[in-house]
């Protein structure tokens, strides 16, 4: 007997096919449901008008299509960023943020985009993989709230379907998915990868591997495993410091996996996949934005096919560091580039809606 609370997005196609077999339904019904879910984004049994009424009834009594309630959604004052806070049945909160770049047509409020020039029509969705996070990075709102639980693959997927459905109403779609919301995806490896692979399924949502980015705090064995699995997915590493002492003071995981081991694993990833790796860097005034740090970082990354993504620190309640200013950020970038390491300075998006990692849930709890 299926569990009444079974979330339909937790099922892969073979499991769904088996379930239908148990219900004495032909296999092609599973495909129809799959397409309804991942191509039409239907989220209630009545919408599956191509299924017999009896099967719709069976679905209604056996599976659930939505694992959460929308608790709050907030749009940034420039209209380009929407953050949604979802409440799970166990009352845990997770969040997903949509960032639109470049296309004035996306935004009724203003005619030109303040950021993302040259990146027309990008709609990047940032999703959560856990409620809370166990990694305790000091400047991170999610880290500050602690670990609540892993999300299932279906709970990860449902965040994407929620936004896909919303965008479809205005004839748009998600163009990029980043695993950079609450939680550490490599601490919930199997569910995160199952979600990614299911979203990538050509018979379903068919979201191209190269349009995903997975970000990790640096769990070395999982970076190696990910490299071995050779998905054509982008990988980002939250580095934030160029020496072990400084990194461990911000990212406790560095006591377990030192920078050298992380960078060795990154080299392995690049060799295995041929893909460029991204290093995330939250620029914190006087902490990791000095010319000395930039030079040390450049020396560490020398010869690695990589790119540094630097973003001025987002303020959080539990951390007193200050964001680097524009000039400081420009100097940091220049020093890296002089040493042959490409660097992009990202603007902070949605700061007035607390769209930094974990910030909205942190303010509601």
Give the residues lining the site for ligand SF4 (CB under 6 A): 133, 135-137, 140, 142-143, 183-184, 217, 238, 357
Q: Which residue has the tokens 């540094």?
A: 308
In whole angstroms, the minimum distance from the beta carbon of 309 to ligand SAH comes to 8
Candidate segments 8-16, 53-61, 151-159, 209-217, binder of ligand SAH by CB under 6 A? 209-217
- Count CB-CB contacts under 10 A for residue 337: 14
Any contact of residue 316 with ligand SAH (CB under 6 A)? yes
In the chain, DSSP assigns E strands to: 6-7, 63-64, 69-75, 81-87, 93-101, 122-126, 130-132, 147-150, 176-179, 212-216, 234-238, 277-283, 306-312, 343-345
Candidate segments 57-65, 92-100, 194-202, 313-321, binder of ligand SAH by CB under 6 A? 313-321
The secondary structure of 286-310 as a DSSP string is: TTT-SHHHHHHHHHHHTTS-EEEEE
In whole angstroms, the minimum distance from the beta carbon of 128 to ligand SF4 comes to 9
Active-site residue list: 95, 357
Candidate segments 35-43, 115-123, 133-141, 295-303, binder of ligand SAH by CB under 6 A? 133-141
- Contact pattern from residue 233 through residue 252 relative to ligand SAH, giving x for each residue in contact according to CB under 6 A and a dash for the rest: -----x--------------
The answer to whether 131 and 88 are in contact (CB under 8 A) is yes
For the chain, give percent helix, strand, coil, nearest 5.
40, 20, 40
Question: What pairing do the DSSP bridges indicate for beta strands 212-216 and 234-238?
Answer: parallel
Any contact of residue 132 with ligand SAH (CB under 6 A)? no
Any contact of residue 314 with ligand SAH (CB under 6 A)? yes
In whole angstroms, the minimum distance from the beta carbon of 170 to ligand SAH comes to 27
The answer to whether 202 and 145 are in contact (CB under 8 A) is no
Give contact residues for ligand SAH (rule: CB under 6 A).
137, 139-140, 180, 184, 215-217, 238, 280, 282, 311, 313-314, 316, 356-357
């Amino acid at each position: 007997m299926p569990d009444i609370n079974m979330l339909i997005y937790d099922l892969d196609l073979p499991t769904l096919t088996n379930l239908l077999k148990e219900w004495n339904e032909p296999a092609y019904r599973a495909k129809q449901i799959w397409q309804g879910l991942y191509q039409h984004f239907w989220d209630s049994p009545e919408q599956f008008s191509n299924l017999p009424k009896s099967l719709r009834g069976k679905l209604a009594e056996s599976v659930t299509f939505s694992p959460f309630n929308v608790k709050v959604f907030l749009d940034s004052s420039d209209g380009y960023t929407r953050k949604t806070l979802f409440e799970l049945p166990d009352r845990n909160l997770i969040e997903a943020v949509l960032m639109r770049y470049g296309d004035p047509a996306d935004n009724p409020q203003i005619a030109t985009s303040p950021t993302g020039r040259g990146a027309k029509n990008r709609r990047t969705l940032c999703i959560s993989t856990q409620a809370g996070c166990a990694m305790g990075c000091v400047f991170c709102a999610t880290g500050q709230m602690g670990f609540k639980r892993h999300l299932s693959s279906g709970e990860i997927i449902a965040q994407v379907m929620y936004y896909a459905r919303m965008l479809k109403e205005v004839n748009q779609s998600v163009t990029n998915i980043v695993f950079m919301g609450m939680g550490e995806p490599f601490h919930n490896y199997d569910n995160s990868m199952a979600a990614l692979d299911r979203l990538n399924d050509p018979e379903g949502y068919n979201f191209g591997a190269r349009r995903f980015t997975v970000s990790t705090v640096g769990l070395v064995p999982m970076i190696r495993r990910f490299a071995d699995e050779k998905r054509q997915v982008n990988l980002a590493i939250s580095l934030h410091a160029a020496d072990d002492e400084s990194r461990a003071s911000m990212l406790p995981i560095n006591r377990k996996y030192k920078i050298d081991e992380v960078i060795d694993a990154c080299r392995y990833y690049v060799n295995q996949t041929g893909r460029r790796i991204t290093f995330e860097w939250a620029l914190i005034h006087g902490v990791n934005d000095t010319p000395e740090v930039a030079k040390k970082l450049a020396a560490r990354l020398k010869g690695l096919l990589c790119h540094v993504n630097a973003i001025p620190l987002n303020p959080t309640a539990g951390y007193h560091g200050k964001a680097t200013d524009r000039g400081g950020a420009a100097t940091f970038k220049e020093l890296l580039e002089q040493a042959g390491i490409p660097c992009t300075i990202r603007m902070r998006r949605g700061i007035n809606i607390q769209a930094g990692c974990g910030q909205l849930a942190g303010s509601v709890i």
